[in-house]
Structure 1
Amino acid sequence: MTIDELREFGLAELTDDEITGFLSSQRVGVLALSGGRGPYVLPISYGYDGEDRLYLTYVLGGSSRKATLTESSERARFLVFTVDSPYSWESVLLTGRLEPVPEERWDDLESDLPEAWRPALFASALDDQQVRVYEFRIEERSGVKHQGLPPGLEAGENT
């Protein structure tokens, strides 16, 4: 079904301002990269500049598939979502390009990155310098939300 067909059940598209607010209020999403045998998908924390860039911090091992696929992918997708109940949820889908951020620029990003959620293992990875920061330049964005009960289940109606 299309979004238009689902409107009668409470689905609505997010406005640009709602997308900006939503991305600003969340800290974790799902990154999808082109992989050889199918998409490579992983959860990852992010910082948002409030406009058109996300900043992703990678923890890397000796040979990182994530870093290799990031470098070879022309475009990537990033999904951010939250679910409060089956009748109250939001999601934003972004399409864009990933580029490494030179280490000398990392200090400039502090205003965008301190709010990013990070697993505890990041502290030791930072000490070992097994970290790389990438900038996700947003080229396309869309978002949908569902809030409220579908017809027939609203409060006070008999079912």
Structure 2
Amino acid sequence: MSIDEIRESSPDFMTDDQMREFLTEEGVGVLGLLDEGVPYLVPMSFGFDGDSTLYFVFLLFGTESRKETLSDRAGQARFLVYDAESANEWRSLSLTGPLREIEDDEWTDLRDAMENAWHPDVFSAADPMRGIEGYRLEIDEWTGIQHGS
């Protein structure tokens, strides 16, 4: 393999603008929370404020929620967003930052940001909900790589 072929097959780092655009286009990713030293991974719809904050809505079923418990005690969380069109065309963005429950006066920000979120239909037929909670992740660090995009 030549140097040019290696360069062409290597991923590129995404710019801040590309990462913001990617977060605006996508509406689902994977939230990672620490659970006794092991990552607890859960697919999540998310909203992005266009700047530095992701928003999540937790639909709560049953008497307790592992996701809610781990989120409430997490200082930091990791979130992964990716899109894989093919083996030669993909994007991946990893974010870290503090995760906290939103305050009552932040629900308008959450609603505005959630316009791009992906929402599955499965919950309309689920058991009665106990409630909903809103969370936000302030992006401290992000790294995006892409290939062929």
What TM-score results when the alignment is normalised by the length of structure 2?
A: 0.86
Cα-Cα RMSD: 2.1
> What is the DSSP-based 3-state SS (H/G/I as helix, E as strand, rest coil) of the residue aligned with 1:145?
strand
| Structure with greater proportional strand content | 2
| 2:64 is equivalent to residue 66 of structure 1 | no
Match of residue 45 from structure 1 = 45
Match of residue 57 from structure 1 = 57
Aligned residue pairs, count: 142
What are the Cα deviations for residues 31-61 of structure 1, in whole angstroms up to 9, with x where unaligned? 0001115110010000000010000111112
Match of residue 157 from structure 1 = none
Kept in 1, the 8 Å contact 2:31–2:79? The answer is yes
The residue identity in structure 1 corresponding to 2:112 is: S
Q: Which ranges in structure 1 are unaligned for 5 or more consecutive residues? A: 1-5, 149-159
Cα 1:128–1:143 change in 2 (3 A) is: same
CA distance in 2, matches of 1:33, 1:41: 7
CA distance in 2, matches of 1:97, 1:81: 21
CA distance in 2, matches of 1:80, 1:89: 11
Kept in 1, the 8 Å contact 2:24–2:116? The answer is no
Match of residue 10 from structure 2 = 10
Residue 124 of structure 1 deviates from its aligned partner by 7.1
CA distance in 1, matches of 2:107, 2:123: 15
Give the structure with higher Rg (CA).
Answer: 1
Match of residue 93 from structure 1 = 94
Percent identity between the aligned chains? 37
The residue identity in structure 1 corresponding to 2:97 is: G
CA distance in 2, matches of 1:15, 1:108: 25
What are the Cα deviations for residues 42-94 of structure 1, in whole angstroms up to 9, with x where unaligned? 10000000010000111112111111111111111000000000000000000
What TM-score results when the alignment is normalised by the length of structure 1?
A: 0.81
